[in-house]
Amino acid sequence: MKAVILAGGFGSRLAEMTDEIPKPMVEIGGIPILVHIMAIYARHGVTDFVICCGYKGHYIKEYFSRFWLNRSDVTFSLAENTHRVLDSKALDWNITLIDTGKESMTGGRLKRVSHLIDDDTFCFTYGDGVADIDIGKTIEFHNSHSGIASMIAVRPPGRFGALALEGTSVKKFIEKPQGDGSFINGGFFVLDKKVFDYIEGDSTVWEKGPLEKMAQDKELFAYRHEGFWQPMDTLRDNRFLNDLWNQGNPPWGPIDV
């Protein structure tokens, strides 16, 4: 099964870091968040990736072009212009990088890689969020219903701490409570190839027309995820994720790269 990952947006809300590199290449613990996301899938046996590039996509291509070299012990013979790998710590991942256009919308990017989807079912996500999601269970959930699309539903984390008040008296502080209890789109999907029929072209926004129409057609089902979930939309989010990483044992899982 393939996992398609969107990695072509401008990341304007993280402009402090995305002026020079695409958002999925912004690092957590010295490793691009894109690789963290791929590792989430790989831990559940999904290691065939299609990356939808766009804005500054050449940075992603350059990163993976030297990925094996940075993980290997190697001897270079400058006189013979050859090299010999002494010890390779290669990952068993297959990565296809596709330029899906600088201006394409989320649905448009997905449509542009439809010819690469061989199986009837595939995974799909954004290149800017992590979770302790069990990919295997989301696939099982998708196979258990008759719809063509499954998405994880999450409760968004609170942005600020809250106060527990009794009249004008502050009783205690509540550390970043969840929002109003409503579920939102968590950004991890399991889809059938039939979803491509809902995407018209490059200007199609996945979260608008396609998802809304599939919901109307009773083809969209939600897998409730009550665990850790965190997007990286702002510099504050990036610092939060880096803090979690630096504490050791990050909630979205370890990574050995």
What are φ and ψ of residue 189, in 5° steps? -125, 155
The CA distance from 179 to 91, in Å, is 38
Residue 129: partners with Cβ closer than 8 Å, 6 or more residues away: 33, 37, 186, 187, 229, 230, 231, 232
**Where exactly are the structural domains of the chain?**
2-246
Confidence of residue 158 (pLDDT cuts 50, 70, 90): low
Model confidence at 141: pLDDT above 70: yes
Q: Provide the total of helices (H) and of strands (E) in the chain, helices listed first.
A: 8, 15
Report pLDDT for 3: 98
Mean pLDDT for 145-164 is: 82
What pLDDT score does 155 carry? 86
Local structure of 210: helix, strand or coil: helix
Strands 94-99 and 48-53, bridge-based pairing: parallel
Q: How many CA atoms lie within 13 A of 183 on its CB side?
A: 14
CA separation for the pair 110, 87 (Å, rounded): 37
Do 123 and 45 meet the contact criterion of CB atoms below 8 Å apart? no
Residues 159-215 pLDDT 10s: 656 666 677 556 666 665 565 568 899 999 999 999 999 999 999 999 999 999 999
The CA-CA-CA angle for residues 118, 120, 123, to 5°, reads 85
pLDDT at 168: 55
Percent of the chain past pLDDT 70, that is, above it, reads: 91
CATH top class, domain 2-246: alpha beta
Q: What is the pLDDT of residue 111?
A: 98
- Between 10 and 179, the more confident residue is 10
